[in-house]
Structures are given as C-alpha cells and as structure tokens.
Structure 1
Amino acid sequence: MNQFFQNYKGIILLLTGIIAGSIAGLIFGNKVEVLKPVGDIFLNLLFTAVIPLVFFAISSAIANLSTSNKLNKMMGVMAAVFLSTIIISALLTILAVRIFPLHENVQAIELTETLSEKPFGDQITSMFTTAEFYELLSRKSMLAMIIFSVLIGFASLQAGDRAAAFKGFLNSGNEVFKQVFILIMKIAPIGLGAYFAYQVGVFGPQLFGTYARSLGVYYGVGAFYFVVFFSLYALVAGGATGLRVFWKNNIVPSATAVGTCSSIATIPANLDGCKKMGVPDYIANVTIPLGATLHKDGSSISSIIKMAVVFAMFGRSFNSADVIILALGMTVLVSIVEGGIPNGGYVGELLFISAYGFPPEALPAAMIIGTLVDPMATLLNATGDNVCAMLVSRFTEGKNWLQAKV
C-alpha cells in the first residue's frame, strides 16, 4: 500500500487539491473568485518555465547523439514504426471524437479577447518561424522555438569537440530546468485547487459532465487500441505466433506500467518481455529505452481528446481539415517533447495551447484530463514499445525473424 502511494503520490495529491477546490467552488460559488490569483500565479510560473525547459531538453538531447553505421537501418525502421503508430492512434481518436462529439456537453467560455482565425498559410508560417529572435522566447512561438532548439542541437553535434563547453552548458541547463519544473509542480495541488474552485464557482458543475464524457471516450478508445491494434501489430510482426508470444509475455510489463505509472520504470520489464518475445538484443536495447521517451501512443490519444475539449470550451470547431492536420503534427511533437521531461504531459498541454493561441484558462481543463487518464496512457505508452520492437525486428531482420527465435 505504501509503495502504491509512492508511485501515485503526485496524482493523488493533485486530485485531492482539485477535488477540494471543486467542493469549495460548489459551496461558496462566486465568492471563490478571491482564489483566482493563486491559480494564475501557478499557471504563470508554468508558462514562464516551459520555454527554457523545452529548449534545453531538445537541444541537449540532439547534441549528445552518437551514430553507428550498424544501427542505421534499424534506427530508420524504428523511427518509421514509432511515427506510424502515433499517427494511427491519433487518427483513431479523431474518428472517435467525430462519432462521440465532446462539444455537446461543453459550455463555451466567453473570452474578453477574440481568438483570431488566420488563413492556413499564415498559421503555418507563424507557428514554425518568427521574424525576430526575441519572439522565440514567447510561449506563443513554441513551435518556432522547438525548431530553433533542433537546429542548435544539430549545430552542436556537427561542431564536435569544439562545442564541448557549449554542450556542457546545454546539459547543465537541461538538468537545472528539470528541477525548476519539479519545484513548480510541487505547488500544483494548491494552484490547480484554487483554479478549479474559481472555475466551478463561476462556471458551475456542468464542467464535470465535460470531464466524464471525455474520460469515457479516452478509456474506450484506449482499451480498443490496446486490445485490437496491438494485436494487429503483433500479427503483422510475426503472424499467429507473434500474436501469441506478444500477449503471453506482455502481462508483466502491463502490470508494471499500471502499478508504477511510469514508462521509464517499465523499461526493465519491457526488456525482459522483449527477450522472451524473441526480439534481438540489439533492437530491444535501443528501441525500448528510446521508446520510453519518444514513443507515446497513449499520449497521442489523450492529446487529441484534450485538444477537442479545449476547442469546444472556447467555441471553436475541431472538424476542419487544417485544424486536424495541425493537430496530427502537434500530437507527434507532443509525444517527442514530453518524454524526457518530468510531468512531460503538462508540457505537451502547454505546447498545444500556446501553438493554437488559447489563453491560460485552457490549461487546467487539459491538465485534469491528462491526470485522470495517466494510468491508461502509461499502459499504452510503455507496452506499445514492446510490439513496436517486434515490428522493428520484422522489417529489419526479415519476415522469418521470429521462427529463428522461438
């Protein structure tokens, strides 16, 4: 029981704060507006910290890459598999949101400033680039900053030993801002509790209907994806034998993922499971650790759900082609960015809220959904790496890879 509490301590404290704040909002109504500054301070700290956090996380990760000719083919296949499953899970969720629309139970929030609808071309330009360097430091230019971080990382990599001191700076910055984010998240139960007291007190209990419906859609899609699509991936990887060995050896990793609520903590169980599935060591030893940080099918599903809810909250359509295309791109970016960062899901939420130009009021709704879906998301994120390792083996070693192992 004590181990369970330690594993879920962050979620339990966060939910306790949110529940307490929501009860206060129900009891005291508009009087809880006095607590709104507390929530605003927490959100402002998050928005302030996220820019340097993401910059150092991405640039340092790329700057520290090492290449090996032996692994080039496998790395290319792995990247294609990761990207394909993330997009498939996102498209499945978009379809589910169309079938079970979330906006029907959402009361749109009226804003003092109107969210501008730019032409698609202008949206692309403003999302991926800025005209001035200082504009990269704004959360409204998050994607442009990420691209710049990638360029800095590759430039450092190309510079080699000449950039040793700069790489050290990037690594140190990454560690420092990880700790900054951890410190800020320690007050999350208070900050979000105050914000939810304000939201419930002002906007009423209809908010809970929004969360209940979105959670129902998420867990339904997640369970379907876990059983049906993981089975399809295993069939593609190794036929009926692949399907059998995957589910036989995926029980311990699944239990570990749910029990720890951490993809990183599931790595040992995944490595052992992959060995029993017949995945070659050189594939498992690269795919599983990288997958723990870069491959997030569960986060892909929750990202789409959160976007749909936020769009509905602010009276915007989530059905147009340009919005869906950008959502898919954002989902891939969120999956990559959040992996190596503590509470990375919250960074993903900050990313899409900033990129779409939503105000800070959108963040608490996305955060509570992300918190409540975390066990299922971790299950999909972590165990999805195992079936991906099987797919990488299939397309790297050939169609008979499994027969030689089992």
Structure 2
Amino acid sequence: MRYESQVAGLLAQDITFERGNLREECLLFSLSHANQFDPLLSFLDELCDIPRLRVLESRLQFFLLSHLADLVKIFSGSRIMKLFEDVAELLSWSTCSESCDPLEKITFRISCWSGLKLCLDESSHHTQDYKSSMEKCMEFLFTLLPSAHTDGPCQGKIFEEWSEAFRCLEKAQQGWLLDLLKVSEVNFTVANSLSFETVKKIQAIAKLVQSGSLPLTVLGKLKACLLDCRSQDIWDALTEVSITVQHAEGNAKRQWLIEALEISCITRFPSTALQFVGLLCGSCCIYRPVLIVDKFTVLSDLPVTLTSLLSDSSWMVVADSVVSYLWASTERIYEWNKQLKGGFDAESIDKSENDIACFLLLVMHQACVSLKDLLPSEKQLQLANMVVPANMDVHEFHARLNFDVKSLPLL
C-alpha cells in the first residue's frame, strides 16, 4: 500500500480511482488469493491483529469488518476465534474513542453487522465454536444499538444500523435469539421506569416476529406486562408491537384486541392498554391511511376506529366480547373518576394516570355510545345515566400525553 500514490498516478486519466478505493481493491485481491499465496495470508493475518487494526484508517476498518465472511474462509479455527475477539475489542475501543465521531462509530457497527450477517449465511462451514464467537459479537453489538427515534444528523445512519442489525439477527438461531432477548416480569417491576434495554428487546422481538424469525407467541407472553407500564416508557415498543399484530393472522389479531381490553380492566395504567387498543384498531380499520399516531390521537380516535373495526364482517365475530370488556373498562374508569372527584386515589390505578382520568372517561363513554346497540338494555340505561364532563381542555390533554412524542403516519 505504500506505493499506492505511484500506482494511482500510472492509471489512465479516464479512470477515476480514489486512494481509498485502490486500497480496498488491494485488500479484495488479497482476500481472493490468500488461500493460494502464503504471503497474502500473512499480510491479512497481520492486518487483522488488533494493534494494527486499530491504527488503520476508518475506511479500511469498515471494509475488513464487512468482509468478515471472507476472512473466516481463509483463517484457521483458532485464528477465527481470535478474529472475533479482536473485532469485539475494536468495537469497544471505537465506542470509547474520542477520535471517532458519532457517524464513524455507527458505521463501525453497521459494517460489523453486515459482516456477521454474511458469516451466518455461510453457517454450514462453521463449527459451534465459531458460532459462539459470532454470537458474542452480536450480543455486544446489540447492547450498543441506540434508540431508533434519535433526532439529529445521525438519524438516517441509526435507521440504517437498525435495519442491518435485524437483517443479521434474522439469520441467527432461534434458541440463541430467545436467550438474547429474554424479558422477565422483573424487568418491568425492578425500577420506577422501564429501562431502554428492556424496551429495545421488546422492539427487537416485535421486528423478528414480523420477519418470521420468532413466533407471535413470544410476544404474546409479554402482553400483560407490556400493557401494565407507563405509556411514556413503553410507547416506542407499543407502536412496533401494534405493527406486528396488524400483520398477524386474523384470529390472532382478534385475540390481541380482546385481551388488551381485558387487561385495561385491571392494569395500573389503563391509558397504556387503551392506547394499544387504539393503535391496533387504527391500523386495521378503513381509516388507517388518514390516521396519525401519537399518544393523544390514538385515544381520541378510539370511538371511531373501534366502531369502524367492529363493523367489518371479519371482526363482528368478536364484537360481543370486545364490547363486554369495553363496558367493564368504562365502568372502572367511571368509578375511578368518582373517587378522584371525592378526593381519593384509586388503589388499583397508578397516581400518574390521574391527570388524564377525565379524558379517558370521555373517550370510553363515547366509544360505548357508538356501540350501545351491542350492550344489554340494562347497560344502555347505566350508560345513559353516567355523568360525563362536557367541557375539557383537550389541548392540555394533548400536551400531557405527547410532550415527548412525534406524530407519525399510521403504518
């Protein structure tokens, strides 16, 4: 590579060959012929050793990371294990290094995900030892995966990183994925707010269910815990889960709707369960193309979206069950509002929900009115006698629910 400038100068003037491109071509040549020429193999062996790898220019580091599958084919078993150890060390170094700007750090990770994906494509050539080494790298990379909803100049790159990460994870063994993404009830109760790592795992599970890498039942096991969290903690995961359920088989979708409404009758955070109901109804009803996803709108639209959904012949079969739980949830919210009006908190509902109690009552009352024909006559009478606040500052509720959330088209 020391003669690169001289070689580039000898190239025909009508050929545009950047310095970096020429170096990459040299590496590609070495990868292609290392099995036939020991000096090339020695060259790559030295180049991929961590002390040398660290001082390479970023572009060449990215190139080597994205060609891990080629390196695996030419290195011996023990050298492959060391290669993945060095890759993990390089990633750790790049994460902490002040010499790498944020975009470079993301590109490091994208290149590594890309390289690992190609390694998994060649999985039949690997022993279990190699897989274990690769899985350790993927596990470390997953911990570095940032929020997909980060603003700023890196937003596009972060989206690319998530896409590349899941193209790679889709190739991994299901058993390992389940271990990597394991979420227990403890994760939902260990702190006052849900950790980003837990939310990220739920998002990952939802995406992998969408791709068919994991069954929907894995997500279903988290349903009760998922809908018993503060909305501001779980919103990103809720939207991803709703997209996943939207594309599920009809019976599964209907069961999710019924159980979400059932959970709204007992959860400490009824707004979260009802937001999910709103997301699911909105994504499956005829109004989907014109709906907006934010915490306020999915609730305020619920009387319309739920009514529209149940008018569909494929959803009519569960209309009675849905309306039964809708009414039970409405009664609960009505009693909660009466307690608050009397100066008491509801024992079964978190105090953080108190600010939107009136708004939830209005939404649920309107939904029941829209579907009153499906209620028994005595329930219709109770509905008519409910005292519901008529004048509320809707803009205030919108601000409370969406202080940290962007409005997005409903996918």
Could you say whether these structures have the same fold, taking a TM-score greater than 0.5 normalized by the shorter chain as the test? Answer: no
Larger relative contact order (Cα-Cα within 8 Å, sequence gap ≥ 6): 1
Structure with the bigger percentage of helix: 1
Q: TM-score, normalised by structure 2?
A: 0.19
* TM-score, length-scaled by structure 1: 0.19
Rg: which structure is higher? 2
